[in-house]
Amino acid sequence: QKEVEQNSGPLSVPEGAIASLNCTYSDRGSQSFFWYRQYSGKSPELIMSIYSNGDKEDGRFTAQLNKASQYVSLLIRDSQPSDSATYLCAVRGDNYGQNFVFGPGTRLSVLP
Amino acid sequence: DVKVTQSSRYLVKRTGEKVFLECVQDMDHENMFWYRQDPGLGLRLIYFSYDVKMKEKGDIPEGYSVSREKKERFSLILESASTNQTSMYLCASSTSAVQTQYFGPGTRLLVL
C-alpha cells in the first residue's frame, strides 16, 4: 500500500514566521518528491520538486528530503497571508510508473 | 509555460446523463491524468494515459471511462452520471523525462 501522510492542520503561523510542513511516505523505493500549493477552489500549482537527500532552496521556500527516515518537509520563511493555502505533498516511486501518490494536504493559515 | 485547459469550469448534469470532460495540453506531454478531489479524501487518480490510445486504470475507475485519440487531448467520460460523482475533476499532464505534473484549472461537476 502506497501511502503519503500529512498533518491536515490547520497550521496557523503569524505573519513573518517560518511555517514548517511535513510529509511522510511508506514506499522506500520513492524517487521523486513534490510540493504543490492549492488555494481554495483552485487547482494545485507546483512549488518545489526534490530528488536527492538534503535541502533545496527557492526564494522563501526550502524543501528538505531525508530518504532514510522517509520524510520530506517544506519550510516557508517570512510567511505572508498570501501563503495561506493547502499544501499537498506528492511522491513518485519506481513502481508508480508516471503516477504520483498525493498526501491529503496540510491547510496553512498565516495570520496578519 | 505549460498550459493545461479543461473544457468547463462548472457543470450541472442530471442523474443518468452521459458527461464528457475534456482536457487539452499544449506542451506535447506524453502522460495525462484524471483525478477527482473531494473534501477529506484528497486527490484520487481515476485514469491515466502514457500515450495516444493507451489508458490505465487508477485507484477509482468505476463509473468512468477515458479516451485519448490525440496526444494533446484526454477525455473523461461518465457513462451514466450519479450523484456520488459530484466532485472537482482535475486533469494533469507530464513528460516522462521531467515527471512533474501540471494541472488544469479543474471542472466542478454537480450531478442532480
Under an 8 A CB cutoff, do A105 and B42 touch? yes
Chain B partners within 8 Å of A105 (Cβ): 42
The per-residue pLDDT for B104 is 96
Chain B partners within 8 Å of A92 (Cβ): 99
pLDDT at residue B2 above 80?
Answer: no
**% chain B with pLDDT above 90:** 79
Chain B partners within 8 Å of A36 (Cβ): 103
User: Coil, helix or strand for A82?
Assistant: helix
| Residue A96 per-residue DSSP state | G
User: Rounded to whole angstroms, how far apart are CA atoms A65 and A33?
Assistant: 8
- Smallest Cβ–Cβ distance between B99 and the set A32, A88, A103 belongs to A32
**Element of type H or E holding B70:** strand B64-70
User: Rounded to whole angstroms, how far apart are CA atoms A67 and A53?
Assistant: 6
The gap from C-alpha A100 to its chain's centroid, in whole angstroms, comes to 13
**Which residue is it, cell 495525462?**
B32
Nearest CA distance, A48 vs chain B (angstrom): 10
Residue by residue, pLDDT tens for chain A (112 residues) are 668 999 888 999 999 999 999 999 998 888 899 999 999 989 999 999 999 999 999 999 999 999 999 999 999 999 999 999 999 999 987 655 567 889 999 999 999 9
Instruction: Report yes or no: A61 and A74 within 8 Å, Cβ to Cβ.
Output: yes
The CA-based angle A53-A58-A60, given to 5 degrees, is 115
Q: What pLDDT, in 10s, does the model give residues B24-54?
A: 999 999 999 999 999 878 899 999 998 898 9
Q: Which residues pair with A102 in a beta bridge?
A: A90
> In residues, how long is chain A?
112
The per-residue pLDDT for A96 is 52
Instruction: Report yes or no: B103 and A45 within 8 Å, Cβ to Cβ.
Output: yes
Longest dimension (CA), chain B: 41
Under an 8 A CB cutoff, do A98 and B105 touch? no
The per-residue pLDDT for A98 is 61
